[in-house]
């Protein structure tokens, strides 16, 4: 089976002291993507594969340790969908970061974005950045945070537009994986764009194919016999607009984790009960671009209860699944988006858990609630122990 990372990438440097590249990164097959047949899944990133939040933050800390700290005033821009939580975390850890934003593919409150650009190779190409242009006149440098860059062309698309707002800005890119070739590296150096990464390598063949036997996604054979509890919580720091434009950064991650837990447990009986339960499997699920606060909620539970806590997120990414032993994604559940009933999203590797929290940053759509109920009902869950939490403004 041709999904060994070394068949796709020549590894130049792995700065992680915790994990080998083979342990950390797995190759999977995209579904009907004409640009590239494969993508890389990082099992410690806290997205597609359920993972203990402590292991996610352990990798994030290694990543942050490889980013140079300067006296410049920095604005961090995390890329949707996959790198939003990474950008949030880097912004919290870098002392000289004063603004943190994230790109989005959502139309927010009918506002005009500052810039709009395109990520040509992605399943969802449009990227929008909201905020106020004066933010970029009060800083020295923009740092783009990504999970992976290949050529870096998408970031150059953003840089070209930001230059019209402030031509004196400096730029850098921090990505967990950097696959830039010599030509792309030269272009970045000519433009004075610094790069930081955890793993450096080069793509061997952009046209390479993944050799695997796909299986069908999981089907819901039965309709749930009851509705799932949906808890709506008003929260000024957790709403779909403010999560994408953060001007008051929460630098103390543990304190912010407790805050997230406190506002959820005030309204959620299930969250209150978890602190008095031991030796149970608890799954916390973020929704698409909204990953950081759910991950912090999971982290708080892991540190303050005696349960096994896992975290993952729903995603727009359509990826093939297989039951072959050396392929990391083994199940796929399709469901309507929490935010747009016309959009399809996915769960991967949904594990059997005793308690489940699905956390969104807006009041979720009715079809999403129905799909969640059916997915977990068909997997044999007690729906009284599955809850959707909507944090909204």
3-class SS of residue 106? coil
CATH number at 297 reads: 3.40.50
CA distance 271 to 264: 7
Identify whether 185 is part of a domain. yes
Domain count of the fold of the chain: 2
Identify whether 244 is part of a domain. yes
Let me know whether 79 and 167 are in one domain.
yes
Q: Model confidence over 110-136: pLDDT tens digits?
A: 678 888 877 655 544 678 898 888 889
More confident residue, 11 or 123: 11
CA atoms within 13 A on the CB side of 283: 24
Let me know whether 142 and 257 are in one domain.
no
- In the sheet that holds 74-78, the strands lie side by side as 9-14, 194-203, 170-178, 141-149, 74-78, 97-102, 245-246
Identify whether 209 is part of a domain. no
**Predicted local confidence at residue 124, as pLDDT:** 47
- Is residue 310 within 8 A of residue 52, CB to CB? The reply is yes
Let me know whether 178 and 39 are in one domain.
yes
Let me know whether 65 and 100 are in one domain.
yes
Interacting residues of 316 by C-beta distance below 8 A, sequence separation 6+: 81, 105, 123, 124, 288, 337, 343, 344, 345, 346
Let me know whether 16 and 78 are in one domain.
yes
Identify whether 121 is part of a domain. yes
Alpha-carbon distance values, 143 to 76, 92, 159 (Å): 5, 13, 11
CATH number at 159 reads: 3.40.50.2020
pTM for the model stands at: 0.95
Averaged confidence pLDDT in the chain: 92
Identify whether 161 is part of a domain. yes
CA distance 302 to 299: 5
Last residue of a domain, one of 203, 221, 237: 203
Pairing of strands 332-336, 344-348: antiparallel
Let me know whether 72 and 124 are in one domain.
yes
Last residue of a domain, one of 169, 203, 237: 203
**Predicted local confidence at residue 282, as pLDDT:** 98
Let me know whether 199 and 248 are in one domain.
no
Sign of the torsion formed by the C-alpha atoms of 41, 42, 46 and 51: positive
Interacting residues of 33 by C-beta distance below 8 A, sequence separation 6+: 121, 123
- DSSP letter, residue 252: -
Task: Note down the domain range covering 163.
Answer: 5-203
- Is residue 295 within 8 A of residue 286, CB to CB? The reply is yes
**Predicted local confidence at residue 243, as pLDDT:** 58
DSSP string, 150-172: SS-HHHHHHHHHHTTT-TT-EEE
**Predicted local confidence at residue 107, as pLDDT:** 78
Pairing of strands 97-102, 245-246: antiparallel
Identify whether 213 is part of a domain. no
Let me know whether 159 and 34 are in one domain.
yes
Identify whether 9 is part of a domain. yes
Strand partners, 314: 287
Let me know whether 187 and 236 are in one domain.
no
Let me know whether 190 and 248 are in one domain.
no
Element (H, E) at 361: none
**Predicted local confidence at residue 123, as pLDDT:** 46
Let me know whether 280 and 186 are in one domain.
no
Last residue of a domain, one of 203, 237, 254: 203
* Closest alpha carbon to 310 in 42, 24, 50, 46: 50
pLDDT exceeds cutoff 60 at 104: yes
Let me know whether 233 and 195 are in one domain.
no
Confidence of residue 241 (pLDDT cuts 50, 70, 90): low
pLDDT exceeds cutoff 70 at 247: no
CA distance 46 to 204: 27
Helix extents (H) in 114-163? 153-162
User: What are phi and psi for residue 14, nearest 5 degrees?
Assistant: -120, 110
Identify whether 196 is part of a domain. yes
CA distance 201 to 180: 7
CA distance 294 to 89: 13
């Amino acid at each position: 089976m041709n999904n060994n990372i070394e068949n796709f990438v020549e590894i130049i440097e792995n700065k992680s002291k915790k994990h080998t590249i083979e342990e950390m990164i797995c190759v999977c097959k995209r579904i009907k993507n004409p640009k590239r047949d494969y993508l890389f899944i990082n099992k410690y990133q806290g997205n597609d594969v359920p993972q203990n939040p402590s292991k996610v933050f352990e990798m994030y800390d290694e990543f942050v340790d490889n980013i140079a700290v300067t006296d410049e005033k920095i604005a961090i821009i995390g890329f949707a969908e996959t790198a939003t939580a990474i950008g949030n975390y880097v912004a919290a850890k870098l002392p000289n970061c004063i603004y943190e934003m994230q790109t989005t593919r959502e139309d927010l409150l009918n506002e005009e974005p500052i810039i709009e650009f395109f990520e040509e190779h992605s399943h969802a190409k449009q990227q929008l950045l909201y905020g106020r242009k004066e933010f970029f006149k009060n800083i020295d440098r923009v740092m783009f945070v990504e999970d992976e860059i290949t050529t870096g062309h998408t970031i150059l698309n953003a840089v070209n537009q930001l230059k019209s707002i402030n031509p004196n800005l400096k730029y850098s890119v921090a990505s967990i994986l950097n696959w830039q070739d010599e030509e792309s590296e030269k272009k970045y150096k000519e433009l004075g764009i610094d790069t930081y990464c955890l793993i450096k390598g080069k793509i061997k063949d952009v046209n390479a194919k993944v050799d695997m036997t796909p299986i069908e996604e999981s089907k819901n054979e039965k309709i749930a016999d009851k509705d799932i509890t949906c808890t709506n919580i008003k929260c000024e720091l957790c709403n779909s607009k403010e999560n994408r434009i953060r001007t008051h950064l929460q630098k103390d991650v543990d304190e912010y984790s407790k805050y997230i837990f406190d506002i959820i447990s005030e309204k959620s009986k299930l969250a209150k009960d978890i602190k008095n339960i031991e030796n149970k499997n608890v799954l916390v699920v973020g929704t698409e671009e909204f990953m950081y606060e759910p991950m912090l909620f999971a982290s708080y539970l892991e540190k303050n209860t005696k349960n096994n806590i896992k975290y993952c997120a729903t995603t727009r990414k359509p990826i093939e699944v297989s039951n072959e032993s050396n392929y990391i994604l083994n199940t796929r559940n399709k469901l309507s988006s929490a935010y747009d009933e016309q959009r399809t999203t996915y769960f991967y590797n949904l594990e059997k858990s005793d308690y489940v929290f699905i956390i969104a940053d807006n009041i979720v759509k009715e079809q999403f609630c129905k799909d969640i109920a059916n997915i977990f009902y068909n997997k044999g869950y007690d729906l009284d122990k599955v809850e959707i939490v909507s944090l909204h403004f």
